[in-house]
Amino acid sequence: MKAVQIEKPMALKIIDMEKPVITEHDNVLVKIKAAGICGSDVGIYHGTNAAATYPRVIGHEMVGEVVETGPGVRKIKAGDRVIIDQVVNCGHCYACRKNRGNVCADLQVRGVHIDGGYREYMAVPESDVYLLPDSLSYEDAVMIEPTTIAIQSCSRAELCEEDTLLILGCGALGSSILKIARLSGAKIIVVDVVDEKLQEALQNGADYAINLAKEDVVAKAREYTDGYGPTVSIDAVCNKTSLATLLELTGNAGRVITMGFSIDPTEITQFKVTSKELDIRGSRLQNKKFQQALDLVNEGKLDLNGSISHRFHFLDAQKAFDFVDSRDPSIRKIVLTFD
């Protein structure tokens, strides 16, 4: 079978791999139908994702059709449309015992530490697949995984109705966070440098928008919060200056959620954290959030249809990543297809 491998930073190639087979552990065989391109995939390609190992078949937003199951499988059958959980944990370390397996001491993430979804077939445990809603195409169903990331970040923030949330960045990640955050009833401020993305965010439920390239983000954030500052801020940009910006604008007793994997040094001061007694919390991957995301879709509370802006066949992955690097303003979410 064919697969997309990052051999080393900036070296993408199409390789041949052995088609996986059913084992006692990996007891569900899935034919991949679609896989999303995430910012972390781009980071692995660029060599800026500190968690990745090489060479690596990347891709962690993967959906497909079950084509074979092992004799012990009870809940899944051939023909089922499924999404695959990307997190593999040990189940017994401190983090796992605290029900935080997404930061397991021996964490393995499909597409990061072990081979992921940019290949024609995957064999995984039955416990790692979830049934897709009939209302979603395979392509749109790719957005379930980013939705779980958004749910995780809002959970880590303990976001509630009395909060004012500032989301820094209106790309694919920021847009997913907005869709989940608006369900909390919190006031939402979005920040970006592209007016079109800000307008889309306002149409999708944001209350206020700030163009970082044209306005003083700290002053505007305070203006929209009667001088106090947002009580929660989430970094969906994750560059070397974004954390410092959020520490500056977040109000006293607020929570600042970081989601980036950059290893570039960022300059912050203890004063900003201590004087306002801010909580800085990391939010990594997701912690068994797939069913929660699927329930929101099935209950009609979350609409993921029409989420994909661009499509490439997986054998044209180099073209897709080159297009990502073009920073075309029309890019929202890019998906690789396998048919």
- pLDDT tens for the chain, 339 residues: list them: 999 999 999 999 999 999 999 999 999 999 999 999 998 899 999 998 888 999 999 999 999 999 999 999 999 999 999 999 999 999 999 999 999 999 999 999 999 999 999 999 999 999 999 999 999 999 999 999 999 999 999 999 999 999 999 999 998 899 999 999 999 999 999 999 999 999 999 999 999 999 999 999 999 999 999 999 999 999 999 898 999 999 999 999 999 999 987 778 888 999 999 999 999 999 999 999 999 999 999 999 999 998 899 999 999 999 999 999 998 888 889 999 998
Q: Are 104 and 89 in contact (CB under 8 A)?
A: yes
φ/ψ region of 276 (left if φ > 0, alpha if ψ in -120 to 50, else beta) reads alpha
DSSP character for 257?
E
Confidence (pLDDT) at 47: 93
Of 274, 181, 318, 277, give the one whose Cα is nearest residue 236.
181
Confidence (pLDDT) at 134: 93
Q: What is the pTM of this model?
A: 0.93
Domain 2-143+304-337 has CATH 3.90.180.10: yes
Confidence (pLDDT) at 38: 92
* Alpha carbon distance 146, 229 (integer Å): 27
Q: Are 262 and 253 in contact (CB under 8 A)?
A: no
Confidence (pLDDT) at 50: 84
Computed from CA positions of residues 27, 28, 31, 36, in that sequence, does the dihedral angle turn out positive or negative?
negative
Confidence (pLDDT) at 265: 86
Q: Are 2 and 120 in contact (CB under 8 A)?
A: yes
Q: Supply the CATH classification number for the domain 148-282.
A: 3.40.50.720
Q: Does residue 128 sit in helix, strand or coil?
A: helix
Per-residue exposure over 178-212, b if at least 16 CB sit within 10 Å of its own CB, e if not: bbbbbebebbbbbbbeeeebbebbbeeebebbbeb
Confidence (pLDDT) at 332: 85
The domain ranges of the chain are 2-143+304-337, 148-282
Q: State the number of CA atoms in the 13 A half-sphere of 161 facing the CB.
A: 1
**Cβ neighbours of residue 141 closer than 8 Å, sequence gap 6 or more:** 34, 63, 81, 83, 132, 133, 304
Confidence (pLDDT) at 307: 87
Confidence (pLDDT) at 325: 96
